[in-house]
Amino acid sequence: RVRLLHRDIYNREETARFDSDVGKYAAVTELGRPDAEYWNSQKDILEQRRAEVDTVCRHNYRVF
């Protein structure tokens, strides 16, 4: 099983993350809440992240 975890970090603090198992962004801090809400409202952004599991992660999983 391959999983994508994209973490957004500002000032050495994680603010938001995308987990392919969940399929959407989650705010980790209050600072990340507006970004997570915006990214979750944009269907093209969510589709791109979900597609990265197959196009990037699975490919690299076989390489390493």
Per-residue pLDDT for 59 more than 80?
no
pLDDT tens sequence across 10-35: 999 999 999 999 999 999 999 999 99
Q: Which residue segments constitute the domains of the chain, with CATH numbers given?
A: 5-63 (3.10.320.10)
Tokens of 63: 């390489």
Mean pLDDT rounded to a whole number for the chain: 90
* pLDDT score of 64 more than 60: no
CB 20 within 8 A of CB 53: yes
**Closest to 18 measured CA to CA, from 55, 35, 60, 63:** 35
pTM: 0.81
Task: Say if residue 57's pLDDT is above 90.
Answer: no
